[in-house]
Amino acid sequence: MMERCDQIERAAHYVEAENARMIAEARASLKTSGTADCIDCGRPIEPKRRVAMPAARRCIECQSHIEAEKYHR
């Protein structure tokens, strides 16, 4: 019982660390590049969106296309 709880806790810590790492990486790339372009259409991602989702690699439009596709499958 205790071991099980321990494993879940460790997994939660791992996810937290992974998220923190991704956010740190995204912040670092924001600082170095200044702007972030959508990996699909190449247009700059809105600063508002980048603040809300630092790990975003696509503009709202492309992201919504991808999410729509996901739900249709």
66 is a site residue for Zn ion (CB under 5 A): no
| Candidate ranges 3-11, 20-28, 29-37, 62-70; the one touching Zn ion (CB under 5 A) | 62-70
Nearer to Zn ion, 5 or 52 (CB): 52
Angle at 48 between CA 24 and CA 26, to 5 degrees: 15
Contact by Cβ (8 Å): 39, 58:
yes
Shortest Cβ distance from residue 63 to Zn ion (Å)?
8
Contact by Cβ (8 Å): 30, 50:
yes
Contact map string, positions 11 to 50, toward Zn ion, x by CB under 5 A: ---------------------------x-xx---------
User: What is the 8-class DSSP label of residue 39?
Assistant: T
